[in-house]
Amino acid sequence: MKDNGLEMIYSEDNAAIKKDDWRCVQCGYCVKACRNVGVLDKYDIKKTNQVICVHCGQCTNLCPTEAVHEKFDYLKLRELLEKRDLVKTISIAPAVRVAIGEAFSLGEENLEGKIVAGLKKIGFDYVFDVTFGADLTIMEEAMELVTRIQEKERFPMFTSCCPAWVEYVETFYPEFIPNLSSCKSPITMQSTMIKTYFAEREGIDVKRLLNVVVAPCTAKKAEIKRGEVNRSGEYFRVSGVDDTDYLLTTRELISLFRDNDIDFSSLKEENFSSPLGKGSSAGLLFGKTGGVMEAALRTAYYFLNHKDLDNDKLLFQGVRGIKGVKSLEVDLGEVSLKVAVVNGLKNVSSLLDKIKKGEVYFDFIEVMSCDFGCVGGGGQPKLTLLEMKERKQKRLDSIEKEDEESKIRLCHRNPEIVEVYDKFLERPYSIKAQGLLHTSFQDKSYLLGGSRDE
């Protein structure tokens, strides 16, 4: 932050955020955003000598002049999409489909069919659904939770699918790193499966495979560059291969459609490619606060009791809503768990401090860095301050409605998930699954400078 207190300074090597100084009018919104998120006041810039960024992108959502924005990757795709020697794949994250319509006056309904059609029209060979990756994440995370319950260790277990939250822990609360689920995020799991299972199944040279993901999140741009999440090169024993080649925000996808003169409203809907196609509605819930928790509890119940929850018990009302911190005790048959859902990083610090002091106890905690969850991500279509809460709520409602109307509401009942375990991964939390779908984390508290106890 500059001495005037009105500008954030972003380093050139920031993996997700860029600032064009010539556009800055020193309105202070970027500073306000970082403070509201709960990051700016967590460190002393005189000690760090640099801004600490978790790449959440809320500053980009509030900047009125576009001075602060995500690093644009969609521009690099123009020439690549014209190369016939490349096999081009792209995956769409859950929250994207209920927000993109705002840019085309189509509201917050689920527009996945039009997105698929538009992407195929501009040159992608395969269009996949990240809800498959979300289902995969739940299979691994629910089994990891059950394993921790059985072994009675490392509680609470925190979700790890939000990269801004992961960076927050690594920097400000590294003592909780062992408590993070070792599962990679849905996006990084999806990309690994595309560049291992799918490439092998279709006989595609992984070096010819261009893999793109669209997400509501700017922090994913930093996440895909973490070496520990990239496994396809090791799998095929080739160098210079990343699992995800480019990460586009929802805003970038809108620009890509507009630059290619796609009349989005008139597109005829098409289906996702298969395998790795459409996931369960439990996977779709990942796009909102409480969604990961709800999906995980549904499948953890199955792993613990060897039967599914009754349909009228699939909705865990206590984890829904947009309250900053929600908590409840859930009966999973074999065990009862104390769980919590945190909505927005600004709400997590006091909870972590209480856990450290032994004032509260939880078995399982979901944290999403952005208000409302991914539907309010830093890469979503911009909203005015007056319409922000209402629009985000509509995005969230659209996801919950989709879940209620879905025929497949359990990750472990997704036929393509069943197939991928039968033919490739063997079983949830197997040695092979852990090698491809799990990750590690780093203590980054050194970035704070000085002693953390000063």
Same-domain pairing of 251 and 123 = yes
Burial zone of 261 (CB within 10 Å; 0-12 exposed, 13-18 middle, 19+ buried):
exposed
Residue 195 lies in a domain: yes
Dihedral sign, CA of 231, 190, 445, 73? Answer: positive
Q: What pLDDT is stored for residue 452 in this prediction?
A: 46
> Residue 243 corresponds to which tokens in the numbers above?
């699992």
Which is it for strands 17-19 and 68-70: parallel, antiparallel or unpaired? Answer: antiparallel
| Type of residue at 264 | F
- Residues comprising the chain, all counted: 454
Q: What pLDDT is stored for residue 454 in this prediction?
A: 42
| Type of residue at 341 | V
CATH no. for residue 271? 3.40.50.1780
Name the pTM for this structure.
0.95
d(CA 425, CA 276): 14
Same-domain pairing of 57 and 83 = no
Question: What is the total count of domains within the chain?
Answer: 2
d(CA 407, CA 413): 10
| Count of beta carbons in the 10 Å neighbourhood of residue 139 | 28
Measure CA of the first residue to CA of the last residue in the chain; give whole Å. 22
Residue 90 lies in a domain: yes
Residue 424 lies in a domain: yes
CB burial string 17-33: b at 16+ within 10 A, e below:
bebeeeebeeebbbbeb
Same-domain pairing of 32 and 48 = yes
d(CA 303, CA 144): 10
Q: What pLDDT is stored for residue 312 in this prediction?
A: 83
> Residue 65 corresponds to which tokens in the numbers above?
């002049």
Residue 61 lies in a domain: yes
Residue 10 lies in a domain: no
Non-local (6+) Cβ contacts of 96 within 8 A are: 115, 214, 215, 216, 250, 253
Same-domain pairing of 108 and 24 = no
Question: At 70, is the secondary structure helix, strand, or coil?
Answer: strand
What domain range includes position 425? 74-132+185-278+416-436
Domain boundary among 27, 47, 70: 70
Spatial contact of 429 and 299, defined as CB atoms under 8 Å apart: no
d(CA 452, CA 173): 10
User: Which portions of the chain are predicted below pLDDT 70?
Assistant: 1-4, 450-454
Same-domain pairing of 91 and 239 = yes
Q: Which residues pair with 364 in a beta bridge?
A: 157, 339
Same-domain pairing of 196 and 113 = yes
Question: At 20, is the secondary structure helix, strand, or coil?
Answer: coil
| Count of beta carbons in the 10 Å neighbourhood of residue 5 | 9
Same-domain pairing of 24 and 119 = no
Q: What pLDDT is stored for residue 281 in this prediction?
A: 95
Run of H or E including 325: strand 325-331
Which amino acids are annotated catalytic? 141, 144, 161, 181, 220, 223, 228, 374
How remote is the C-alpha of 90 from its chain's centroid? 15
Same-domain pairing of 105 and 56 = no
Residue 267 lies in a domain: yes
DSSP string, 119-172: HHHTT-SEEEEHHHHHHHHHHHHHHHHHHHHHHT-S-SEEP---HHHHHHHHHH
Residue 122 lies in a domain: yes
Same-domain pairing of 55 and 204 = no
- Residue closest to 383 by CA, chosen among 125, 130, 64: 64
d(CA 248, CA 264): 18
CA-to-CA separations, 421 to 134, 375, 426, in angstroms, rounded: 15, 30, 5
Spatial contact of 227 and 236, defined as CB atoms under 8 Å apart: no
- Residue closest to 215 by CA, chosen among 251, 241, 269, 260: 251
Same-domain pairing of 91 and 121 = yes
Q: What pLDDT is stored for residue 450 in this prediction?
A: 57
Q: What pLDDT is stored for residue 50 in this prediction?
A: 84
d(CA 242, CA 95): 24
Q: What pLDDT is stored for residue 311 in this prediction?
A: 86
Spatial contact of 396 and 322, defined as CB atoms under 8 Å apart: yes
Same-domain pairing of 117 and 261 = yes
Spatial contact of 138 and 414, defined as CB atoms under 8 Å apart: no
Residue 444 lies in a domain: no
DSSP string, 380-432: SPP--TTTHHHHHHHHHHHHHHHHHH-S---GGG-HHHHHHIIIII-STT-HH
